[in-house]
Amino acid sequence: MKVTDHISNAQGKTLFSFEIVPPVKGKNIQELYNNIDPLMEFNPPFIDVTTSREEYVYVNKEGLLDKKITRMRPGTVGICASIKHKYNVDTVPHVLCGGFTKEETEYVLVDCQYLGIDNVMALRGDAMREEQYFTPAKGGHTYATQLVSQIQNLNSGQYLHDDTPMENNADFCIGVAGYPEKHLEAPSLQSDLKRLKEKVDAGADYVVTQMFFDNQKYFEFVEAAKKMGINVPIIPGIKPMAVKRHLQLLPQVFKIDLPQDLIDAVDNCENNKAVRQVGIEWAIQQSKELKKAGVPVLHYYSMGKSDNVYSIAKELF
Ligand code: FAD
């Protein structure tokens, strides 16, 4: 079922969902299931599965280092299919522009169609670790809007290069990313919102936000988006802070602000166990206020270990 249908069917009740990251290549999928199992108590209507950018590795070949490209966390669509069937829940694979040609994207979408996956999250992806700026794959998309258009074309029965008629048109519900504190490359929040409007006009059905730690930023973003004519659901993305290093890492990587009260509370923690508890309590307060404000879904970035998301959800659902 589509994410937007789950939201309509809930008739104003806030839903619970979360995002997982595929295991590192070579690791067993069981650990992922062990982390998903407890969260099923809160009836998530859908679970997102991220896609990682490819990266360079250096292979020692008779004393010479050979530069090769690989994906360290492959398997997004396979994991979506396995979770969908194991838990009888909808899954949302993240589909990236970065690292994929348009043709490869078409094959991913066709796989999703065969697997009965009804939703995809259309994202540009970040720059590769070695790059300063995002560079599209040769023959790939530069911006998420173009990816949304490709998916929308498939929804209208149009493949990339051939007019093979489709017996059943694709009918993907398309999610896109939104940034309450603007995307790090955008010159201003207003111009970033215009780009978001372009994604919605191209066919995006809903928005999931980047993490934020001050709900006011989300409320103002939703207001500004409405003024811009964006009328699709805007789902808040919540990340519980988990380690002290997040104080530097999150603002540096995502260009987001942290409230001083949160910084002080984390600074006063003696170890990461205490930080994890502060992160849980902060996320509970954030979630309670957002739920009271009637957000459609509370979407948690679980990043592997789910014990903190469990503690938060237990207070709310
Ligand atoms: P876009 O919407 O293409 O925007 C990128 C930048 O370009 C913005 O600054 C925008 O303002 C600007 N822009 C857009 N269109 C134009 C235009 N026509 N001309 C000029 N500028 C333009 N990354 C992953 O690698 N894997 C994931 O699974 C993943 N999941 C995510 C889930 C969520 C909910 C979020 C919020 C982010 C996720 N990301 C993921 C990170 C995302 O890929 C990065 O934030 C990326 O840098 C931007 O992606 P986007 O889809 O927002 O890009």
Q: Is the pLDDT of residue 99 over 80?
A: yes
Q: What is the pTM of this model?
A: 0.97
Q: How many domains does the chain have?
A: 1
144-164 pLDDT, tens digit each: 999 999 999 999 999 999 888
Protein residue whose Cα sits closest to atom 24 of ligand 1: 125
Mean pLDDT of 18-45: 96
78, with CB counted inside 10 A (0-12, 13-18, 19+), is middle
- Within 13 A of 120's CA, how many CA atoms are on the CB side? 33
CA distance linking residue 211 with residue 282, whole number of Å: 13
Q: Which two tokens stand for residue 4?
A: 């937007």
39-60 pLDDT, tens digit each: 999 999 999 999 999 988 999 9
CATH number for the domain spanning 168: value is 3.20.20.220
Query: What is the pLDDT, as a whole number, of residue 120?
Result: 98
Q: Which two tokens stand for residue 251?
A: 């603002």
Find the DSSP H helices in 37-97: 76-87
CA distance linking residue 283 with residue 262, whole number of Å: 11
Confidence of residue 289 (pLDDT cuts 50, 70, 90): very high
Q: Which residues contact 169 (CB under 8 A, 6 or more apart)?
A: 154, 155, 156, 157
Does ligand 1 lie within 6 Å of residue 96's CB atom?
yes
Ramachandran angles phi, psi of 48, nearest 5°:
-90, 145
Q: Which residues contact 188 (CB under 8 A, 6 or more apart)?
A: 182
184-193 pLDDT, tens digit each: 999 999 999 9
Report yes or no: 145 and 195 within 8 Å, Cβ to Cβ: yes
Confidence of residue 305 (pLDDT cuts 50, 70, 90): confident
Mean pLDDT of 119-138: 94
Confidence of residue 61 (pLDDT cuts 50, 70, 90): confident
Does ligand 1 lie within 6 Å of residue 76's CB atom?
no
Mean pLDDT of 8-33: 96
Q: Is the pLDDT of residue 31 over 80?
A: yes
Q: Is the pLDDT of residue 304 over 90?
A: no
The CA 144 to ligand 1 mean position distance, Å, reads 6
Nearest partner of 182 among 225, 133, 141, 152, judged by Cα: 225
Report percent pLDDT > 90 for the chain.
91
Query: What is the pLDDT, as a whole number, of residue 87?
Result: 98
> What are the catalytic residues?
19
What is the total residue count of the chain? 317
What DSSP element (H or E) covers 207? strand 206-209
Domain span including residue 119: 3-314
CA distance linking residue 106 with residue 129, whole number of Å: 25
The CA 86 to ligand 1 mean position distance, Å, reads 31
